[in-house]
Amino acid sequence: MERIGFVGLGLMGGYMAQNILEAGYPLTVVAHRNRGTVDTLTALGASEADDAAALAAQCDIVFVCVPTSEHVESVIEGEKGLRAGAKAADHKLIIVDCSTSEPTVTRRLAASLETDGITLVDAALGGTPTQAESGQLQAIVGSDDETLARLRPVLETWAGKILHCGPVGAGHTMKLLNQFLAMSYGAVFSEALTIGAKAGISPQTFDSVIRGSRMDSGFYQTFFQYVLERDRNAHRFTLANAGKDIRYVAALADALNVKAGVAHAVSDLYTSALDQGEGEKFVPELSDIVAARHQLSLF
Which residues are tagged catalytic?
A: 175
In whole angstroms, give the CA distance from residue 81 to residue 281: 31
DSSP string, 131-145: HHHHT-EEEEEE--H
Instruction: Enumerate residues 6+ apart whose C-beta is below 8 A from 216.
Output: 210
DSSP string, 191-204: HHHHHHHHTT--HH
In whole angstroms, give the CA distance from residue 94 to residue 165: 18
DSSP string, 235-288: S--BHHHHHHHHHHHHHHHHHTT---HHHHHHHHHHHHHHHTT-TTSBGGGHHH
In whole angstroms, give the CA distance from residue 69 to residue 40: 27
Instruction: Enumerate residues 6+ apart whose C-beta is below 8 A from 289.
Output: 190, 273, 276, 278, 281
Identity of the residue numbered 53: A
252 closest CA partner among 169, 173, 167:
173
Cα dihedral angle (197, 277, 126, 123), rounded to 10 degrees?
160
Task: From residue 64, give the alpha-carbon distance in Å to each of 5, 23, 137, 213, 293.
Answer: 9, 19, 16, 39, 38
Cβ contact 226:232 at 8 Å: yes
Cβ contact 70:103 at 8 Å: no
